[in-house]
Structure 1
Amino acid sequence: MKFQSTDDYVATDDLTIAVNAAVTLERPLLVKGEPGTGKTELARQVARSLGLPMIEWNIKSTTRAQQGLYEYDAVSRLRDSQLGDERVHDISNYIRRGKLWQAFEAEEKTVLLIDEIDKADIEFPNDLLQELDKMEFYVYETGKTIRARHRPIVIITSNNEKELPDAFLRRCFFHYIRFPEMETLRRIVAVHHPGIKEALLTTALTQFFEIREQPGLKKKPSTSEVLDWLRLLLAEDMTAEDLKTDTKNALPKLHGALLKNEQDVHLFERLAFLARNGR
């Protein structure tokens, strides 16, 4: 069972090695990187490459670790008892299975994605240590222990918004997805926009990397954003010549796909002003 690039996803050699190492060690793969570098999509493509079903748990600031295991709906049970419903005699009717429970009880091995774990409370990772390590947990309401039939491939993503606890990090295989170099980005573009002309691609990517390397930029545009930008350029039937900026306007064409805050837009407007005034 080896992960490889798919028709829709270009995986670098170091990323491929990291995924396969985590699978071999049977440890969660913790993936960090800039937003938009394909961390979430990686889990989907691992599932596709290995021919496995996928379960996705999207983490929010209000998400609790217990929700990944199960939740007991005491309110519904109380309501049903007042209505005389026979279901109240079986407490399991009021246990809602979480994403980990679903992965543990799946008929076959699954890929379990825990997406953007750093959005949750700092204690969230620690609250899952035992469950991810031993692949089991105890349901207090029913007195049963739920054990994984097949150990899932766990992929955890983080945007580095919070530091994760050391005890949690020790149990993971770690990989940082670096922003792709020009050649790798060309391969990624070829997957999504196979018919793009070479002159347009070269000019667009050169301009894109110049934008990313501009000092003072608050948010660097990501891989997903350059793909959106190229899609717009193709939709507008633009050429390499159309992309060339002049001193009157340093903003790239259709810059709203690349620059996502007013500070960065103002930065390029100031650059244009300085260029016009010969400074």
Structure 2
Amino acid sequence: MQFQSTESYIAPADLTVAVNAAVALERPLLVKGEPGTGKTELARQVAQALGMDMIEWGIKSSARAQQGLYEYDAVSRLRDSQLGDPKVSEIGHYIRHGKIWQAFAAPERVVLLIDEIDKADIEFPNDLLQELDRMEFHVYETGETIRARHRPVVIITSNNEKELPDAFLRRCFFHYIRFPDPETLAKIVEVHFPQIKPKLLAEALTRFYEIRETPGLKKKPSTSEVLDWIKLLLIEDLAPEDLKADGGSLLPKLHGALLKNEQDVHLFERLAFAARGRR
């Protein structure tokens, strides 16, 4: 079974090729792209399409690679020893399985999502090289070696906020999710809102791309944000004419769903002021 677009997820041809190539090569798929382009959702859709469960490891700035393997809770063991608990003789009670261990131990093949790897320290990816390459790791406290029962499909996402080490990149199949063109974005919107009228969709996307391509914009609105915006347009029952820009304001209706900082709101206010001054 191969990954392809579904009724609820529109995947461009180059993305389906990348996913299926990574699965065939048994390499981690490294997916980059700006926030909101559906990188995390891709992993969920791959799992669904391939009939697999998904294990998700969301990376934080404080994350360490060791946490993905296991953690030894020495504090709890010390406390139990002071209380005379007999289970202290079995150290395995104090080994907490990380997401990678869970994926390796799963009875069937799973999708392992390592989400937003670029949030962690620069050495974080390199610290996972051997484990993801060999599909095994050693537990020093118990002396056992954990080997993957089934090689998981590994999908790693990055918002491109920092460069990843070359040694790590060499072991991955890479794909950059480009922002969808108007035709693809229209299909994505229709998947989520099949009841939307063509004229409203056309006008909404025209306004959206005008906003997104405005020079000087600090944060360009993403796919997830345009979906939120269109949902509000439908709730408010706005007509295509309501979305057209006028000289008084270049800000779109319900712009809080698209513009997420005051600098960008002020940018549109200044553009509207300048437009009035040229009249």
Deviation (angstroms), 1:6: 1.6
SS of residue in 2 equivalent to 1:189: helix
Aligned to 1:70: 70
Describe how 1:1-279 pairs up with structure 2 within 5 A: 1-278=1-278
Deviation (angstroms), 1:275: 1.1
Deviation (angstroms), 1:171: 0.1
AA aligned to 1:174 is F
SS of residue in 1 equivalent to 2:109: coil
Deviation (angstroms), 1:8: 1.2
Q: Distance in 2 between matches of 1:94 and 1:28?
A: 30
AA aligned to 2:2 is K
SS of residue in 1 equivalent to 2:55: strand
Deviation (angstroms), 1:259: 0.6
AA aligned to 2:50 is L
AA aligned to 1:234 is L
TM normalised by structure 1 equals 0.99
SS of residue in 1 equivalent to 2:24: helix
Q: Which moved more, 1:2-11 or 1:19-28?
A: 2-11
Deviation (angstroms), 1:242: 0.8
Q: Distance in 2 between matches of 1:47 and 1:210?
A: 35
Q: Distance in 2 between matches of 1:208 and 1:14?
A: 24
SS of residue in 2 equivalent to 1:145: strand
Q: Distance in 2 between matches of 1:76 and 1:170?
A: 40
Name stretches of at least 5 consecutive residues in structure 2 with no aligned partner.
none
Deviation (angstroms), 1:244: 1.2
Q: Distance in 2 between matches of 1:103 and 1:131?
A: 12
Q: Distance in 2 between matches of 1:28 and 1:127?
A: 15
Q: Distance in 1 between matches of 2:93 and 2:10?
A: 44
Q: Deviations over 1:211-264 (max 9, x none)?
A: 111111111100000000000000000010111121011100000000111111
Q: Deviations over 1:118-177 (max 9, x none)?
A: 000000000000000000000000000000000000000000111000000000000000
Q: How many residues align?
A: 279
Q: Distance in 1 between matches of 2:2 and 2:242?
A: 44
Q: Which contiguous aligned blocks of 4+ residues in structure 1 show a shift greater than 4 angstroms? A: none
Q: Which moved more, 1:245-254 or 1:170-179?
A: 245-254
Q: Distance in 2 between matches of 1:34 and 1:137?
A: 33
Q: Distance in 2 between matches of 1:19 and 1:214?
A: 33
SS of residue in 2 equivalent to 1:43: helix
SS of residue in 1 equivalent to 2:79: helix
Provide the aligned C-alpha RMSD in A. 0.6
Q: Distance in 2 between matches of 1:258 and 1:2?
A: 35
- Percent identity, aligned pairs only? 79
Q: Distance in 2 between matches of 1:251 and 1:84?
A: 68
Q: Deviations over 1:188-233 (max 9, x none)?
A: 0011011001111000000100111111111110000000000000
SS of residue in 2 equivalent to 1:66: helix
TM normalised by structure 2 equals 0.99
